[in-house]
Amino acid sequence: MAKLYFYYASMNAGKSTNLLQADFNYRERGMATMLFTAAIDDRFESGTIASRIGLSAPATMFDAATDIAAAVAARHADTSLACVLVDEAQFLSEAQVDQLAAIADSGGIPVLAYGLRTDFQGQLFPGSARLLALGDALIEIKSVCQCGRKATMNLRVDGTGRPIAKGAQTEIGGNDRYVALCRRHFVEALNG
């Protein structure tokens, strides 16, 4: 039976690298995959999943209006898919997560979703909340805080490195905008 997997972590934990490795493993064995990435993520080339260590692969972009189930069904009709992989899964809508669950349950295709669990205020993203609710397997990818403890939080910083506590939930950025911290150092940075 196919499953819906949710691999979650703080920023810079290697989520995209893990996704690209999983994709490679399937393709190396002659199996077809379908990759998705959020259209809102403009840090790299459009329609590309890229890791900080230099790996990349083309992907189908999704936004809130994308019917992921229809896109997978169309591709699966042409080429039998062995796996669907989703990067930046925190940006999925609840309905899209429901579609991914149906792809695993009814379509028999494993779905591997990778994303952030929480935003810069420690709040769940709607897509992540639904993945936590529906996922058959919830796998934390570990990252490290500056103190050596497990990083679980994403601190948003301004151009000078000062913590930002308020703003829109979604603001795209990398190491220039976010720092992965343990909860203790996250709270200290916001209250300091």
Specify if 169 maps to a domain: no
Specify if 165 maps to a domain: no
What is the C-alpha to C-alpha distance for residues 167 and 151, in angstroms, rounded to an integer? 22
Q: What is the mean pLDDT of residues 95-116?
A: 98
Label residue 49 left, alpha or beta by phi (over 0 means left) and psi (-120 to 50 means alpha).
Answer: beta
What pLDDT score was predicted for residue 156? Answer: 84
pLDDT 10s digits, 129-181 = 999 999 999 999 999 999 999 999 988 888 787 877 776 666 655 556 788 99
What pLDDT score was predicted for residue 183? Answer: 93
The verdict on whether 188 is a catalytic residue reads: no
Q: Write the CATH number for 108.
A: 3.40.50.300
What pLDDT score was predicted for residue 44? Answer: 65
Specify if 167 maps to a domain: no
Q: How many folded domains does the chain comprise?
A: 1
Label residue 43 left, alpha or beta by phi (over 0 means left) and psi (-120 to 50 means alpha).
Answer: alpha
Specify if 162 maps to a domain: no
Query: Which of 78, 105, 94 is CA-nearest to residue 127?
Result: 94
Specify if 182 maps to a domain: no
pTM above 0.85, yes or no: yes
The residue from 88, 94, 140, 188 that is catalytic is 88
- Provide the residue range defining the domain that includes 16: 4-142
Specify if 154 maps to a domain: no
Question: What is the 8-class DSSP label of residue 141?
Answer: P
Give yes or no for residue 36 having a pLDDT over 80: yes
